[in-house]
Structure 1
């Protein structure tokens, strides 16, 4: 993994280090999938607090970390805010169509009320 150079810089895998099984693991949890859906619909980056989740802050932090460490999202600090963005270019380059298929399936499932 790429190393963080300061205490405020978060560790992200390089594109070449992103593994399919890690991405699928990160997307397999309903709350993490919900985060990814929100980020995919956003016009830009979102703070953690802009994504409503029915869990504690520490659990929210865990889910964001799983997504970041598996290369699904990018997190950077801007002042005191931690901004989150989907790593769509990396995911689309490595696994063409995967993210769109997962998001489409998740939307269809949500529409069914499952």
Structure 2
């Protein structure tokens, strides 16, 4: 079983695409939604993982779950259970290897847009 799909220590696992399966159009689709882009910006601001519960999104819990699923299934984030917490991390290395400069460019553009519009990045 690929490392990405091995059960975590809690026995629960989540499906993630292997690096070779990640497609540019899927990544761009995932990043095109403002809520998902905010999640990615928040994850990019930390080195490591964040629990789903730290994200304060103005949508329902089920909608938040949907956004995380889209990000995971597109290969943008990796999710793993640690006890009862679902931890999230950007797949920086995979994205950089497949699409050099894309993540950095998107993050810089999001920060520039937030500055221009007076909104948090």
Runs (4 or more) in structure 1 with deviation over 4 Å come to 2-7
User: What RMSD over aligned residues (CA atoms) do the two structures have, in Å?
Assistant: 1.6
Q: Does 1:111 align with 2:115?
A: yes
Aligned residue in 2 for 1:19: 23
The 3 A distance-change label for structure 1 pair 55 and 24 is: same
Q: Does 1:89 align with 2:93?
A: yes
Give TM-score scaled by structure 2 length: 0.88
Deviation at 1:113, TM superposition (A): 1.4
Partners of 1:8 and 1:55 in 2: CA distance: 26
Flag structure 2 segments of 5+ consecutive residues without an equivalent.
none
The Cα offsets for residues 36-62 of structure 1, whole Å up to 9 and x where unpaired, read as: 000000122000111110111000000
Matches within 5 A, 1:19-98: 19-98=23-102
Partners of 2:6 and 2:101 in 1: CA distance: 33
Aligned length: 113
Partners of 1:5 and 1:94 in 2: CA distance: 23
